[in-house]
Amino acid sequence: MTIIQKKETLKWILDNIAWFILLAMLTIFSFTVKGFAQWPIYRNILYHSVFVGILAIAEAICILSKEMDLSVESVLALSAVVTAYLAGIGLDASGLHLNGPTTLIIVLIMGAIIGLFNSYFIVRMKINSFIVTLAGYLIFRAIGLIITKGHGVVNISKDIVAVARTNIGPIPLMVIILLVIYVIFSLFLSKTQFGRFIYFVGDNREASYNAGIKTDRVLTIVFIMSGVLSALAGWLLAARTNGSSPSLGQGILFEAMAAVVIGGVSLQGGVGKLSGVFAGAVILSSISTVINIVNINPYYMNIIRGAMIIIAVLLDAIIRKIRPKLI
Amino acid sequence: MIILINGASQSNNQPILTVKNISKRFGNVQALKDVSLEIYKGDVIGLLGDNGAGKSTLIKIIAGNFPADEGEVFLEGKKVNFNSPSEARAAGIETVYQNSPVCINATVYENFYIGRELVNNFLGIKLVRNKEMQNGTMEVLKNLEISLPSVKAEIGLLSGGQRQAIILGRFFHWGGKIALLDEPFAALGVAESRKGLKLIRDISQKGLPIILITHNIEYAFQVMNKFVILRHGEVVGAGEKKDVSVEDIVSLITGAIEIKE
């Protein structure tokens, strides 16, 4: 190997460090944790990453553009509630008995409107996205609670529930949906002009604007995409739980955020790849699975998540020091 | 010794940029008073003067940062009134400076083609053509003899001189009409500055006129063919380099000698 090839290899490893961490973790768990090394466990890990994974894409797109969306969790919850309410077959629902595709379209449009709502205040009124979406975080879950008067909804349309229970070969349909969404959005971010604009706008808004990129339009679409993805995750969560409960998905925002950071997306904007975010989501899911298996007190979970975030940030700082030497 | 700008001997081709009788006040401070200059294809004008002489104010008026109180600016013979730097940029005037905004985490070629990406249209989706953009960037940089480790390197990992060279090369390549270089050597080492000087000379000879603001008179002297010296907001000397010495320039800047019509 020439020096250039060595440098390229090292660069590639550093750019994909989350995957190496994931592989190392899975290997260690497989050899040390009894009962870990079997397909149902791996499948469960993947299934577990579906909701965090999709929310993490929404969050990653916002963070790549140097904004933040704290409302993703509440949009997910609202979407699940609306889905369950419209498609519920029990007395606790709307009585409309809508089918899967109809509810999906409704919640996706709702997600887009919420994204537009967020972006109006962020882009037009120039209010910090942290503040705007913090308000959204409070508002959207509350709307869901008001719709169902704080009750849960159980038993929804069978075609929705089927999405969560269908397997294609050994792989759950949910996991395939997750993978397809990741592939689509990875290609979108890395290969399309608009995807590159998201990076540029996050990296240096002035340079992007100077280059004629409509930065306001880019940010508006970023928040719309975030809303739609969160709503989709909520719909899938309703399918998974065959309904909705008031506390559905509580705390998932922080898991999504952790997956994004562990996956190597920089909070400074313009840096990171979705493949890393996927690895980040699976890392978190593997850890919680292991904690379940070995019967560790689940309260340790957040300590481990916190530690993972710190390690990820430290690692990022180290990589940033090494990288300049690799050009 | 000094040939004043208005009477300057010029070929009869049209100036690219004409600044006519510009004045600007900030409160009680007369920042610019009746300043005029003309720049032609192939020119490198050294815009010189001490701190507070009005160089930056003049540059900012030309670049559309703010309007002049009095006077006019003509681009290729047409009167222009820029309301913002982006309007000036769209018309072909750009300021390049030490901290010119770039996407530091994006690659050299992405920064080179930013907003002008080469794309394939696939069912209405615009897919970027990275390979072509890399080759295109390499070719332009090669023509301008700008050497870089790789066009695939993040621009933030390059030196300040390399960055400015890329921005200037990009501006030239995309049909810029006049470049305003604001203290380009401020944070550069000797070797880098030398490369920068060569680039300025090459690019101006290829047809892009340049106004160079710098405190480093020695550097300015190496590349400029004309100069305009400001003092207290007024033009105190202007002409062709071949008619003056470095000492003359310094004297004009400090006011040790004065020339009046």
Q: Does the structure show a pLDDT above 50 at B7?
A: no
Minimal Cα–Cα distance from B127 to chain A, Å? Answer: 4
Can you give the pLDDT at residue A319? 83
Q: Does the structure show a pLDDT above 50 at B4?
A: no
Q: pLDDT digits over A199-209, tens only?
A: 999 999 999 99
Can you give the pLDDT at residue A6? 84
By three-state DSSP, how is residue A289 classified?
A: helix
Q: Does the structure show a pLDDT above 50 at B1?
A: no
H helix intervals, chain B: 55-62, 85-91, 108-113, 130-143, 160-173, 190-205, 217-223, 246-254
Distance from CA of residue A239 to its chain's centroid?
A: 17
How many degrees, rounded to 5, is the angle at CA B119 between CA B115 and CA B120? 160
Residue A71 CA: distances (Å) to CA of A79, A230, B60: 12, 9, 42
- Beta bridge mates, B230: B49, B235
Q: Give the mean model confidence (pLDDT) for residues A33-62.
A: 95
- B127·A212 Cβ contact <8 A: no
Residue B54 located in a structural domain: yes
Q: Kindly identify which residue of chain B lies nearest to residue A192, measuring between CA atoms.
A: B127
Task: Choose, out of B84, B97, B105, the residue to mutate when testing the contact with A (most A CBs < 10 Å).
Answer: B105
Can you give the pLDDT at residue A167? 95
CB-defined contacts A:B, below 8 A: 68
Residue A27 located in a structural domain: no
Residue B115 located in a structural domain: no
Q: Does the structure show a pLDDT above 90 at B10?
A: no
Q: Does the structure show a pLDDT above 50 at B2?
A: no
Query: At which residue do the structure tokens 């180290």 appear?
Result: A318
Q: Give the mean model confidence (pLDDT) for residues A34-53.
A: 94
- A193·B110 Cβ contact <8 A: no
Q: pLDDT digits over A69-121, tens only?
A: 999 999 999 999 999 999 998 888 888 889 999 999 999 999 999 999 999 99
Residue B128 located in a structural domain: no
Judged on CB neighbours under 10 Å (0-12, 13-18, 19+), B67 is middle
- B110·A196 Cβ contact <8 A: yes
Task: Choose, out of B102, B103, B174, the residue to mutate when testing the contact with A (most A CBs < 10 Å).
Answer: B103
Residue A32 located in a structural domain: no
Band the pLDDT of A5: cuts 50, 70, 90.
confident
Average pLDDT of chain A is: 93
Parent domain of A275:
17-22+37-326
- State which amino acid sits at residue A127: I
Q: pLDDT digits over A184-235, tens only?
A: 999 999 999 999 999 999 999 999 998 999 999 999 999 999 999 999 999 9
- Total number of domains in chain A: 1
Residue B134 located in a structural domain: no
Q: pLDDT digits over B160-176, tens only?
A: 899 999 999 999 999 89
- A199·B119 Cβ contact <8 A: no
A196 touches chain B (CB under 8 A): yes
Residue A5 located in a structural domain: no
Residue A7 located in a structural domain: no
- Total number of domains in chain B: 1
A216 touches chain B (CB under 8 A): no
Query: At which residue do the structure tokens 């010495």 appear?
Result: B245
Q: Does the structure show a pLDDT above 50 at B6?
A: no
Residue A306 located in a structural domain: yes
Q: How far apart are CA A168 and CA A171, in angstroms?
A: 5
- B157·A323 Cβ contact <8 A: yes
Which has the closest alpha carbon to A115: A194, A222, A217, A195?
A222
Residue A201 located in a structural domain: yes
Residue B23 located in a structural domain: yes
Residue A191 located in a structural domain: yes
Backbone angles phi, psi at B72, to 5 degrees: -135, 155
Can you give the pLDDT at residue A2? 78
Q: Does the structure show a pLDDT above 50 at B259?
A: yes
Show residues of chain A in contact with B125, CB under 8 Å.
192
Q: How far apart are CA A54 and CA A108, in angstroms?
A: 14
Can you give the pLDDT at residue B260? 53
Minimal Cα–Cα distance from B33 to chain A, Å? Answer: 30
CB atoms under 10 Å from CB of B236, counted, come to: 20
Q: A186, A275 in Cβ contact below 8 A?
A: yes
Q: pLDDT digits over A114-143, tens only?
A: 999 999 999 999 999 999 999 999 999 999
Q: pLDDT digits over B14-36, tens only?
A: 899 999 999 999 999 999 999 99
- Which residue in the set B103, B114, B157 is minimally distant from A270, CB to CB? B103
Q: Does the structure show a pLDDT above 80 at A1?
A: no
Parent domain of B26:
5-92+177-254
- Supply the CATH number for residue A90's domain: 1.10.3470
Q: What is the DSSP letter of B154?
A: B
Question: H or E element: which one contains B32?
Answer: strand B29-39
Residue A31 located in a structural domain: no
Q: How far apart are CA B219 and CA B215, in angstroms?
A: 9
Q: Express the helix, strand and coil content of chain A in percent, nearest 5 each.
A: 75, 5, 20
Tokens of B259: 């020339």
Q: How far apart are CA B257 and CA B236, in angstroms?
A: 9
- Supply the CATH number for residue B26's domain: 3.40.50.300
Q: How far apart are CA A231 and CA A108, in angstroms?
A: 6
- Which residue in the set A192, A199, A270 is minimally distant from B125, CB to CB? A192
- B114·A207 Cβ contact <8 A: yes
Can you give the pLDDT at residue A120? 98
- A211·B102 Cβ contact <8 A: no
Q: pLDDT digits over B52-91, tens only?
A: 899 999 999 999 999 999 999 999 999 999 998 889 999 9
